[in-house]
Amino acid sequence: MTSPAPTTAPSEGAPVLVACSHGTRSETGRRTVDALRAAVAAARPDLDVRAAHVDVHGPELPDVVGELSAAGRRGVVVPLLLSSGYHVRVDIADAVAAGGGLAVAAAALGPGPEVTDVVLQRLGEALGEDPATFDGAVVLAAAGSSDAVAQADVRTAADLLAARLRAPVTCGFLSAQEPAVADAVAAARAAGARRVAVASYLLAPGVFSRRLADAGADAVAEPMGPHPLLVDLVVRRYEAAAAVATP
């Protein structure tokens, strides 16, 4: 459940919640991320929630942080990202460092139990059954990264998912890493799996998610989208970072 929604208007005293996503050329993907931000703002109408991105399109994160700092406003950058890879440790960290001490960064959304819960729900929707009873193999499909921390985070996400299933879980990637999702699906079949399902470790639909339909799986889960568990997680990431930063 999301946090109870206060009835007050946004307070200028509270740090601005800068909800920072990767950015995408997909209009559907942009609408999905916008819907997540809107749900966060609806859950916490006492906060000023603003959009920012680290790639592809604006508003660009350094500009958003710079505008807040120039106005003397504090900000908490919450990464709408599923791992602590390059964008979190470099792009977001650099933007915050340039904020003149008025900006801080929260932790990425994943990996963790809340994200695993959403992955499981989307997987169950694709299977049409309780994923805990699925008797096949599962491939966790992630965007992929050359960053070692991001790679480790995806492996952790797969381990967390496997702990909730009786099915074996392997990783497949859509860029930058091997095995590709289709290769991971084929490997699961070669290992004897009668059915193979793809669980999506993607926040929003776009170019990557469209490729999953051609991976050869029996079922393909949808991206996570603006799930209430993620809305609550964004708010809690903000609160934890704001508590540390508040004098």
Q: pLDDT at position 109, please?
A: 98
* Res 1 pLDDT > 90: no
Q: How many CB atoms lie within 10 A of CB 187?
A: 16
Query: Which residues share a beta bridge with 137?
Result: 196
Q: Angle CA(136)–CA(141)–CA(145) in degrees, nearest 5? A: 150
Pick the more confident residue, 245 or 67: 67
- Split at pLDDT 50, 70, 90, the class of 207 is confident
Residues 181-205 pLDDT 10s = 999 999 999 999 999 999 999 999 9
Alpha-carbon gap, residue 57 to 210, rounded angstroms? 20
Interval 18-38 mean pLDDT = 96
Alpha-carbon gap, residue 36 to 194, rounded angstroms? 36
* Res 233 pLDDT > 90: yes
Residue at 9: amino acid letter: A
- Predicted TM-score of the model (pTM): 0.92
* Res 67 pLDDT > 80: yes
* Res 5 pLDDT > 50: no
